[in-house]
Amino acid sequence: MDGKVNQRVMLTKRLIKDTLVQILREKGIRNISVRDLCEQAGINRTTFYRYYGSPYDVLSEMEEELLNRVQNELGRNGGDPSRQLEAICAYFYRNTEYIRILTDNSVKPDFPQKLFHLSPIRQMLLEKLRGQYDEQSLEFVITFVINGGYHMLREWLHGENHKPPTQIAALILELAEKVCR
């Protein structure tokens, strides 16, 4: 019986998430009420509140799932930062609309850092920059590179003519290398 209950929970949560994505195509997270979400999903609010406290909680869980998926993608690409960044870009490219929706409505200000800290990019930056800056300045430079790379990815996904994922990954790494010199 536990299998059926768990499957029902998974299906209900998937319905809520899919419905949220549909609504996010038309309006931002700040403009979505639990009532709107439940009406469109065809569930009652009691069911919604069994799993979530607000649409922000749903979006937060979706962000965590994305980070886990990216982590899985990275696991397939060894420890090479360029291959791992290419894997992130390729995954984003294959899931452009979904990634756009999540990044445009992100509820966590540290989402870019979490995304890029999943890979050894931070470690690569630390190794290349060590000795060039004091600890506080080092963190500023790393934040600059991480946020710059994240926003480059966002711009790339919002563009009309997408460069191939390998090219955007190479550009991000090239710029990171230049900052590290």
Question: Do 32 and 83 share a structural domain?
Answer: no
Question: Do 49 and 67 share a structural domain?
Answer: no
Reported as a pLDDT band with limits 50, 70 and 90, residue 115 is confident
pLDDT of 119 reads 58
| pLDDT tops 90 at residue 32 | yes
Integer Cα distance of 26 and 43 in angstroms: 20
If one compares 166 and 106, the residue with the highest pLDDT of the two is 166
- 82-94 pLDDT tens trace: 777 888 888 889 9
Domains contained in the chain, number? 2
Question: Do 64 and 145 share a structural domain?
Answer: yes
Q: Which two tokens stand for residue 143?
A: 């934040």
Integer Cα distance of 174 and 3 in angstroms: 49
Torsion of CA 49, 113, 74, 158, to 10 degrees: 80
CATH number, position 16? 1.10.10.60
| pLDDT tops 60 at residue 1 | no
Question: Do 101 and 46 share a structural domain?
Answer: no
Integer Cα distance of 148 and 115 in angstroms: 12
Contact 118, 70 (CB under 8 A): yes
Distances (CA, A) of 164 to 77, 114, 120, 155: 18, 24, 22, 14
If one compares 144 and 3, the residue with the highest pLDDT of the two is 144
User: In the predicted model, what is the mean pLDDT of residues 20-35?
Assistant: 94
By three-state DSSP, how is residue 133 classified?
A: strand
Question: Do 152 and 98 share a structural domain?
Answer: yes
CATH number, position 95? 1.10.357
Question: Do 132 and 81 share a structural domain?
Answer: yes
Question: Do 134 and 86 share a structural domain?
Answer: yes
Of 42, 69, 36, the closest CA to residue 54 belongs to 36
Question: Do 143 and 84 share a structural domain?
Answer: yes
User: In the predicted model, what is the mean pLDDT of residues 109-127?
Assistant: 70
User: In the predicted model, what is the mean pLDDT of residues 41-47?
Assistant: 96
Question: Do 104 and 20 share a structural domain?
Answer: no
By three-state DSSP, how is residue 109 classified?
A: coil
Residue 140 lies in domain: 58-180
Question: Do 160 and 99 share a structural domain?
Answer: yes
Reported as a pLDDT band with limits 50, 70 and 90, residue 79 is low
The residue to which tokens 């009420």 are assigned: 33
Type of residue numbered 129: L
pTM over 0.85: no
Question: Do 129 and 47 share a structural domain?
Answer: no
- Angle among Cα 14, 109, 48 to the nearest 5 degrees reads 25
Question: Do 149 and 132 share a structural domain?
Answer: yes
